[in-house]
Amino acid sequence: MIPEKRRRLRQLFERFVPDARFDRWAQQQPWLEDFALFSALKDVHSGSSWTSWAPSLAAHEPAALATFAKAHARELAQVRFEQYVFFRQFQTLKQKCVESGIKLMGDVPIYIAHDSADVWSSRELFQLTEDGSLIVQAGVPPDYFSETGQLWGNPIYKWDKLREQGYRWWINRMRAALAMFDIVRLDHFRGFEAYWEVPGDATTAMNGRWAPGPGAALFTAMTAALGPLPIVAENLGLITPEVEALREQLGYPGMSILQFAFGGAEGEVNEFKPHRYLRESVVYTGTHDNDTTVGWWNSEPGGDSTRTAAEIEKEHAYARRYLNTDGREMNWTLIRAALASVADTVLIPMQDILGLGSASRMNLPGRQAGNWQFRFDWSQLTPDLTKRLRELNTLFDR
């Protein structure tokens, strides 16, 4: 699909004549030139990482980049055009949403890819060696998803350097996100209080350490520059009282995941149970990182799950009692429980509305390929399903 899309974009570019609207848009995108250079350089180097380029290009030296830009002016112009097409179409979509009373919620991950225009053009803000490789990398220790932890391979910020610059890089990043979205889900919020740091050459995330994040100072700077931030904090994982204190201090709603509500020790306090929800929260049946609800309910030991057969049976037994269900149509049982809760906002993955299994899972945390491939057809969203969803929303004043 991507080669075909690029072929058609090249055809459009051949007929494109920059006008005043394009010029105004390009002048308002401070990231555009570095992104165009990075994209063209990637093509010239057959997609290889920037760390393998000639040292002057990898180091983002102005003279080397000027020479390259002169030799590849047409390729740079095409990248600018492609970005213009995307953002023009996205703003059309956003305007239609505004007219229909629909809010768009976007995602801002705490970390960015090592092989990206952002890291290449601002390498002084990341913990990298002289040749650009990772000194340390991001991840999380062993958890529900993995016995060896999640090794993400993302570079970690030099938070002291960012603080010296008044967190300008993060302010620009959040400004760009808010130009596209009405609400931002801030991924891995706990990392802003303390993050798991793993050696750059590690093969698992087991042997790392907790290092202090920027805390409230980052958000104070962003709020001063941008105004009140419409953020939902992804407060999942190994959450400490300090993380929750930071979230509450900032006034950001957190997330509750129904699939996490029924495991754990008997009598253990579990904030994911609906009767413990706060009104200022966002509840999901499952997120993009979870299995689908049908897949979760039918899962067996092994694979990506750390649960034993006995733990799964215990979880199922408790869920059946708590939800007063025989376990059939578990996706709709969780949808109903979420909509019936006091949580201000409920988000339901399309896979759960359609009742799809693990083959339609969106993402497997820690797996660096084979994700984000789910697609659906509008014919799957039948009148019976839309009627059922509408009736539940009406019943619970949604």
Identified catalytic residue from 82, 197, 289, 291: 289
Task: State whether residue 239 is helix, strand or coil.
Answer: coil
Identified catalytic residue from 33, 187, 304, 329: 187
Query: Of 267, 63, 246, 91, nearest to 181 (Cα)?
Result: 91
For 45-137, where are the alpha helices, taking DSSP H only?
55-58, 62-71, 73-99, 117-121
Identified catalytic residue from 82, 115, 234, 315: 234
The CA-atom distances, in angstroms, between 173 and each of 60, 184, 343 are 20, 12, 29
CA angle 48, 49, 54 (to 5 degrees): 90
The Cα–Cα gap between 364 and 256 comes to: 19
Residues whose CB is less than 8 angstroms from the CB of residue 288 and which lie 6 or more positions away in sequence, other chains included: 349, 362, 363
234 given a catalytic annotation = yes
> Within 10 Å of residue 346's Cβ, how many Cβ atoms?
22
Q: Which residues pair with 185 in a beta bridge?
A: 107, 232
244 given a catalytic annotation = no
187 given a catalytic annotation = yes
The Cα–Cα gap between 205 and 195 comes to: 12
The catalytic residues are 187, 234, 289
